[in-house]
Amino acid sequence: MRTHNILLSGVGGQGTITAAKLLTTGLMNAGYDVKMSEIHGMSQRGGTVLSQVRYGDEVQSPVIEPGTADLLVAFEEMEAMRYLNYLKKDGTCVVNETQIWPMPVVIGSVKYPQGILDEVEKKVALKKVPASELAEQIGNPKTMNVILLGAIVQSMNLEHIDWEKIIRENIKPQFHDINIEAFKRGLELSK
């Protein structure tokens, strides 16, 4: 099997790293060779967060080459545009419909760009998902990342893996049920 590439982009605190951890653990348990790359450190202080996930029979590089990602999952709208160059020409971009203001917008020196997703849609196949809104609906905004995990699983046809088990083994018991609910919602979302 060729190596598959999934890029998760977002803003510090959105749970991209946890989503990537669940994803890679599931892939490893399913018998794939897996590599994942993240950059920690100073970039965490309000900066963008990027998790690169690769799986297949034998994976060499831990980073995705621009133009080769099968799936770009943006946890925030602007972060979809920022990393579009990683996506294959016929790849899919899944975007959580939410905006997080960067410091220059917060202090009022520039406006948050309008119409980002329309512009992204002109360039690549786009699936908009209201993961943040859904997470609020099911009662815990933090489950947004697991809703997006469901969307990833559906997009990459990875339903054969026992994700409920992965969630149970890697998330605190008091959050099992709500995250499993979140995951199911995510699975249905991108259909």
Partner 1 sequence: MKKLMTGNEAAARGAYEAGVKFAAAYPGTPSTEIMENVATYNEITSEWAPNEKTAVESIAGASLGGVRSLASMKHVGLNVAADPLFTFAYTGVNGGAVIVTADEPGVYSSQNEQDNRYYSRAAHLIMFEPSDSMETKEMIKEAFALSEKYDMPVLFRMTTRICHSKSIVDCFDREEVPDKPYEKNVPKYCPLPVNAMEMVKKLKGNIEAAKDYSNNCKWNYIEDNGSKIGVIASGVSYRYAKEVLGDDVSYLKIGFSYPLPDKLIKEFSDLVDTIYVIEEIDPVMENDIKAMGIDVIGKEVFPISGELSPDVIRGAILGEKIETVEPDQDYLVNRPASLCAGCPHRGLFYTLGKKKDAIIYSDIGCYSLGLGQPYNAGDAILCMGASISGGHGLAKALEATNSDKKAFAVLGDSTFFHSGMTSLLDVAYNQSDVCTIILDNRITGMTGHQENPGSGMTLSGEEVEPADIEQIVRALGIKNVRTVNPNDLKATEEAINWGMELKEPSVIITRYPCALKRFSKLDKEEFPEAFKQSCYVDTDVCVGCRLCLKSGCPALAFNSTVENKSGILEDMCLGCGVCQQICPMGAIKRHENA
Q: Judged by CB under 8 A, which of 57, 106, 159, 165 binds partner 1?
A: 106
Considering only residues 18, 30, 37, 178, which one is a binding residue for partner 1 as defined by CB under 8 A? Answer: 37
Is 34 exposed, middle or buried, given 0-12, 13-18 or 19+ CB atoms closer than 10 A?
A: buried
CB 92 within 8 A of CB 151: no
123 near partner 1, judged by CB under 8 A: yes
| Residue 121 is a binding residue for partner 1 (CB under 8 A) | no
Alpha carbon distance 134, 123 (integer Å): 27
CB 152 within 8 A of CB 187: no
Q: C-beta of 51: minimal distance to partner 1 in Å?
A: 10
Could you say which residues in the range 59-98 bind partner 1, by CB under 8 A? 59-63, 65-68, 78, 81-87, 89
Task: Report the nearest approach of partner 1 to the CB of residue 188 (Å).
Answer: 28
In the set 6, 7, 8, 11, which binds partner 1 (CB under 8 A)?
11
Q: Are 69 and 86 in contact (CB under 8 A)?
A: yes
Asked if 38 interacts with partner 1 (CB under 8 A), we say yes
User: Which residues are CB-contacts of 110 (< 8 A; sequence separation ≥ 6)?
Assistant: 104
Q: How far apart are CA 161 and CA 159, in angstroms?
A: 5
Residues of the shown chain interacting with partner 1 in the complex, contacts defined by CB under 8 A: 11, 24-25, 28, 33-48, 59-63, 65-68, 78, 81-87, 89, 101-108, 110, 112-113, 115-116, 119, 123-124
